[in-house]
Structure 1
Amino acid sequence: MTSSKPRATGESGATPGPGAAFRAARDFLLAHREDWQAAREGFVWPRPAEFNWALDWFDTIAGGNDRTALRIAEEDGTEAAYSFDALRRRSNQVANWLRERGVRAGDRVVVMLGNQAELWETALAAMKLRAVVIPATPLLGTADLADRVERGRAAHVLVRAGDTGKFDGVPGDYTRIAVGERTDGWHCYADSAHAGDTFTPDGPTRADDPLLLYFTSGTTARPKLVEHTHTSYPIGHLTTMYWIGLRPGDVHLNISSPGWAKHAWSSLFAPWNAEATVFVHNYTRFDAARLMAGMDRAGVTSFCAPPTVWRMLIQADLRALRTPPREAVAAGEPLNPEVIETVRRAWGVTIRDGFGQTETTVQIANPPGQPVKTGSMGRPGPGFTVVLLDPVTGEPAGEGEIALDLSDRPVGVMTGYAGDPGRTAEAMAGGYYRTGDIASRDADGYLTYVGRSDDVFKSSDYKVSPFELESALLEHEAVAEAAVVPAPDPLRLSVPKAYVVLAEGWEPGPGTAKALFAHSRAVLAPFKRIRRLEFAELPKTVSGKIRRIELRERTARGELSGGGDEYREEDHR
């Protein structure tokens, strides 16, 4: 809220304030959506002292607006649609009902829901109440939830009725709210339908008030607790909107599991910043044909998916999609060039990479209308100054750790790691936010991803980027997914070892291994060649990122996956 005197939000009626400043910044980016230089030079972050995105922005655009804000397609073929105005009124009801259940400003709420309307209702309601949301994926088990309740200091949990049993072993004095059928000992979310649909906030929302606490996916260590405010994600994701290329009236599909930051990126803030429709395709098992049929039926104009989904999609007949999206983007991990080229040939659309983290919004990207260089993740986005720091000297370099200059702090950067001042100080040392990712910069300012600082390794004193080798492997038709890690070697210290998931129609064995080693020799420099190979499923976090640390540790111990064989290049020439 923007003033000390609260106002009711039963009907739309915005007053000048941070909502107007937000709109002006939004409209500037829309006007320069294909002019990166002008957007970089002219964009200024709105920095209001008080701002509540749900009240000052969403309710403003939603009042009396019957356009579809959210459309959910279920696996059984049924669909449901919700207008902007319906979600405004419904979130008011939920906010009033949650307040009656004891939810107050500053309270922390674990929200563990699937892609269902209640997820969006709750997100808006929590913002209006100034509660702090701890998003959680329904894939989590009791131990993970206990960690989130304890370290997150949760006062309330709001989960699907079918998941309430997971909390039987989670200690704590917290309010229990179940979405779905009535459950003993739990408040029933459906009762919120009886609450009033006019909401009056109980005070102003300071821009630096906490809004979200995200547990990172933990690819290398215990998950960190990332804190975002009422501006860092809502306002910060103006740059995500810009990268995707969203326009008012678009229909945007983002493949992401609730509970992870990317879901808030592209299934909440970025599309509704643009006044676009969020389209959700629910599925339990990925089916490319069904996905493309749903995209055609919904008229999807922009599509975002993680590399894992893109790699599965290109195994199907992409020509089944009759009306390809105008915009196609990928994030989460760098997308391999072979995937981009396959989609370009089938759809006539170039997938544009973007780079960001749970800790930030989009920092680096290929926005619409700009030349895309094969293998590059693009250039710094509006509002971000990106510096590459040499890992040894800490000085700016042509290749180094991606770092954000905090001298003019971008809005889209986290407050820090909650409850961990040591980690926060380390990440923000020297006036930079340090990402832990390595990249190189060319003469035109384009950045190319090299790898996580702890994934890059040396072989015969040469630095090896796993991503580059994985991309080379994916050029072969036999490879659906690949991960490369160092394997101990008495002569070279370490050599590249590939763990490969085969495409449909290929069988593991010496014949396939020989073909992949031959491909490696043909496309890679001698010091980069794959020297060891194993056919195995790749361990991943629940958010779908490859856990290379697990593969590195397994390889260092000399362990094989599931009793399979390890193939050596010298034996298969």
Structure 2
Amino acid sequence: MERPDVIRKTPHDLRVPPNLSSYGDECRGFSWDLARQALSGLPGGGLNIGFEAVDRQAAGALRDHIALRFVARHAPALDLSYGELARQTSRFANVLQGLGVGKGDCLFVMAGRIPELYIAVLGALKNGTVVTPMFSAFGPEPVATRINIGAGQVLVTTDLLYQRKVKAMRGQMPTLRHVLLVAEEGGITNEPGTLDLATLMLNASDGFSTVETKPDDPALLHFTSGTTGTPKGAIHVHDAVVAHHATGRFALDLHPDDRYWCTADPGWVTGTSYGIIAPLLHGVTSLIDREEFDAERWYTLLQQESITVWYTAPTAIRMLMKSGLELARRHRFPDLRFVASVGEPLNPEAVWWGMEAFGLPIHDNWWQTETGGIMIANTPAFDIKPGSMGRPLPGIAACIVERLEAEGEPPRVRVIEAPDVEGELALKAGWPSMFRGYLNNEARYRRCFAGDLYLTGDLARRDADGYYWFVGRADDVIKSAGHLIGPFEVESVLMEHPAVAEAGVIGKPDPVVGEVVKAFVSLKDGHAPDEALRLDILAHARKRLGAAVAPKEIAFLPVLPRTRSGKIMRRLLKARELGLPEGDISTLEGGA
């Protein structure tokens, strides 16, 4: 049966009154100054993310409410109330002060989803220390590279990770003064040249006054990898907390009694902004699963933990799809009311699959490391156009532009007013979580702006209803016989084939047409990668897309290369296909 282009929402679809119910009225009446009034602020006009997320809540009615619930396969659940989280983060802030680490110094954290990681991030923020989360799966070289770029003075990690990824490189990180270790097997660590975090915490006071930080003081340093060269460090400030609060309210529809699960690793910006900060700002209980992805386990957690709001990634959704609907239907999710996804555009097939698996569509949204928070989203009360990333949130002014500048000149653009014209997505600067620079690379930062417009590097179009549609990264778009082909459109159609679990599309050089479309696909369980299936997928694509846009070649892969945040690495597919340098692959899932 052919599916409609729009999923219509009715009052029956809403379990609770939505935070964003009148899009036009909210956008017209919204201001960031007004949004700041929802937070307490520090005496004297300061603002601090750690204080707003933890101490503000612990000082009120939420003191005994569960803030973080940690679960693991072979250990009992551990609950931290807002009051206990305030005490523990104050202890950690005092540990830093005892080591002479203060405002503006840089702390790196690298660990699995353990309580100490969350305590360290929030305690450091209360201390005015700049925080950089890293994936625990990073190898020694990416760890050293980031610590050196950020002039990291403190590293919080585990004893096993230190031995495997840091110890041999320690002499190559001249700014790193202190390494605080968590014993993975419990007890204390005795690694030479390090400090045992448990001992330091035991001897620290749980009384602490948040260091006075101003809204524009640096708070977070998030690294983002480019196609070549070293990773870029995007600087975010304490004022970002205003956007974390507003977007948690609008895009994730967080209510105080929610039980929330963000599956993102804290090493990724989503795992910090929406896995740590935003839910605490709203006083909800966050589930934190210390285990890696397992379809049966995830369904069980959604059911047993009575999750109401779930924020995950397209990769996870595609892996759940690959495991089959029958597994999902062996579980019940009566409390689940809202599912959202981020990391890369969500194919329409995945949005509809949510209806079959959960009785709920999956709501895509869009943002970047540089934006620091969700910018464009599908929200609970409004109709969904599967394949669209939604509409700009209140306080966000987006547009589609055409670049006009010549090589080497400052960026200039023309705003495209007409609907359904492809161009570059741009945002008017001024939202609080906007990055304030690339560390030690001011020239690169300036190239991201044309006047007061931030140029995202993503190609998109806006339809007549104001919904935005992702086309592809500017350097991913395929030019074939005069056609500009967005890889996402082709990938979405390929995923409609019943055998296809994932698809990645590249342009392959061709002497006649410039580039031809080549697709790499991984298959759902139970399908063999044979010639008959390849021809069937090609025929399906040609029928849906036409001969000019459909792939000319299809290759089968067991899995597609993707980052730990879930993005399929098209540039890596292309580099391997053409024998080109692979560039920075430090964020590649599973390592290089």
Paired residue for 1:177?
A: 180
Give the SS at the match of 1:504: coil
Confirm or deny: 8 A CA contact 1:234 1:269 kept in the other structure: no
* 1:461 Cα deviation from its structure 2 partner: 0.6
Counterpart among 320, 324, 330 of residue 320 in structure 1: 330
2:461 is the counterpart of 1:450: no
2:208 is the counterpart of 1:199: yes
Paired residue for 2:99?
A: 101
Paired residue for 1:350?
A: 361
Q: TM-score, normalised by structure 1?
A: 0.88
Paired residue for 1:380?
A: 392
One-letter amino acid matched to 2:360: V
- The 3 A distance-change label for structure 1 pair 107 and 542 is same
Total equivalences in the alignment: 526
- The 3 A distance-change label for structure 1 pair 441 and 521 is same
Segments of 5+ residues of structure 1 without an aligned counterpart are 1-29, 560-573
* 1:459 Cα deviation from its structure 2 partner: 1.1
Structure 2 counterparts to residues 147-546 of structure 1, below 5 A: 147-165=145-163, 166-168=165-167, 169-170=169-170, 171=172, 172=174, 173-180=176-183, 181-182=188-189, 183-191=191-199, 192-201=201-210, 203-218=211-226, 221-233=229-241, 235-284=243-292, 286-316=293-323, 317-323=327-333, 325-360=336-371, 361-392=373-404, 394-397=413-416, 398-406=421-429, 409-536=430-557, 537-546=559-568
Give the SS at the match of 2:447: helix
Give the SS at the match of 1:482: strand
Cα deviation code 1:127-157 (max 9, x no counterpart): 1110011111111111111111211011111
* 1:73 Cα deviation from its structure 2 partner: 1.3
* 1:480 Cα deviation from its structure 2 partner: 1.0
Q: Distance in 1 between matches of 2:360 and 2:329?
A: 12
Cα deviation code 1:49-82 (max 9, x no counterpart): 5201322452121236211100111122631111
* 1:31 Cα deviation from its structure 2 partner: 7.3
Confirm or deny: 8 A CA contact 2:378 2:391 kept in the other structure: yes
- The 3 A distance-change label for structure 1 pair 349 and 280 is same
* 1:554 Cα deviation from its structure 2 partner: 2.7
Confirm or deny: 8 A CA contact 1:217 1:541 kept in the other structure: no
One-letter amino acid matched to 2:425: I
2:44 is the counterpart of 1:44: no
- The 3 A distance-change label for structure 1 pair 298 and 380 is same
* 1:454 Cα deviation from its structure 2 partner: 0.6
Confirm or deny: 8 A CA contact 1:289 1:320 kept in the other structure: no
2:50 is the counterpart of 1:54: yes
Counterpart among 123, 134, 137 of residue 136 in structure 1: 134
One-letter amino acid matched to 1:35: S
Paired residue for 2:77?
A: 79
Give the SS at the match of 2:112: coil
One-letter amino acid matched to 2:505: V
One-letter amino acid matched to 1:198: G
Give the SS at the match of 1:51: coil
Q: Distance in 1 between matches of 2:575 and 2:49?
A: 44
Cα deviation code 1:32-54 (max 9, x no counterpart): 42322222122221367520132
Q: Distance in 1 between matches of 2:568 and 2:249?
A: 26
Q: Distance in 1 between matches of 2:212 and 2:95?
A: 20
Give the SS at the match of 1:244: coil
Give the SS at the match of 2:221: strand
Q: Distance in 2 between matches of 1:235 and 1:456?
A: 31
Identify which range, 421-430 or 549-558, moves more after superposition: 549-558
Give the SS at the match of 1:411: coil
* 1:275 Cα deviation from its structure 2 partner: 1.1
* 1:218 Cα deviation from its structure 2 partner: 3.7
Q: Distance in 2 between matches of 1:558 and 1:487?
A: 12
- The 3 A distance-change label for structure 1 pair 339 and 77 is farther
Q: Distance in 1 between matches of 2:273 and 2:129?
A: 19
Confirm or deny: 8 A CA contact 1:113 1:119 kept in the other structure: yes
One-letter amino acid matched to 1:418: L
Q: TM-score, normalised by structure 2?
A: 0.85
Cα deviation code 1:104-136 (max 9, x no counterpart): 111101111211111111111111110011111
Paired residue for 1:9?
A: none
Q: Distance in 2 between matches of 1:133 and 1:436?
A: 26
Paired residue for 1:117?
A: 115
Cα deviation code 1:86-111 (max 9, x no counterpart): 10111111111221122111110111
Q: Distance in 1 between matches of 2:57 and 2:227?
A: 38
* 1:528 Cα deviation from its structure 2 partner: 0.9
**Identity of paired residues, percent?**
34
* 1:167 Cα deviation from its structure 2 partner: 1.6
Confirm or deny: 8 A CA contact 1:481 1:501 kept in the other structure: yes
Q: Distance in 2 between matches of 1:247 and 1:221?
A: 42
One-letter amino acid matched to 1:129: N
- The 3 A distance-change label for structure 1 pair 77 and 63 is same
One-letter amino acid matched to 2:571: I
* 1:400 Cα deviation from its structure 2 partner: 1.2
* 1:294 Cα deviation from its structure 2 partner: 1.2
Paired residue for 1:570?
A: none
Cα deviation code 1:178-207 (max 9, x no counterpart): 112412321111020232111124x52111
Structure 2 counterparts to residues 542-557 of structure 1, below 5 A: 542-557=564-579
* 1:273 Cα deviation from its structure 2 partner: 1.9
One-letter amino acid matched to 1:322: R
2:59 is the counterpart of 1:63: yes
Q: Distance in 2 between matches of 1:551 and 1:529?
A: 18
Confirm or deny: 8 A CA contact 1:34 1:367 kept in the other structure: no
- RMSD of the alignment, in Å? 1.9
One-letter amino acid matched to 1:69: A
One-letter amino acid matched to 2:122: L
Paired residue for 1:17?
A: none
Paired residue for 2:585?
A: none
Cα deviation code 1:491-524 (max 9, x no counterpart): 3221110011111111212122111111112211
Paired residue for 2:409?
A: none
Confirm or deny: 8 A CA contact 2:111 2:161 kept in the other structure: no
Identify which range, 472-481 or 95-104, moves more after superposition: 95-104
Confirm or deny: 8 A CA contact 2:112 2:290 kept in the other structure: no
Structure 2 counterparts to residues 6-21 of structure 1, below 5 A: none
Segments of 5+ residues of structure 2 without an aligned counterpart are 1-16, 406-412, 582-592
One-letter amino acid matched to 1:477: P
One-letter amino acid matched to 1:540: R
* 1:391 Cα deviation from its structure 2 partner: 3.2
* 1:235 Cα deviation from its structure 2 partner: 3.8
* 1:220 Cα deviation from its structure 2 partner: 5.6
Q: Distance in 1 between matches of 2:403 and 2:494?
A: 28
Confirm or deny: 8 A CA contact 1:318 1:343 kept in the other structure: no
Give the SS at the match of 1:135: strand
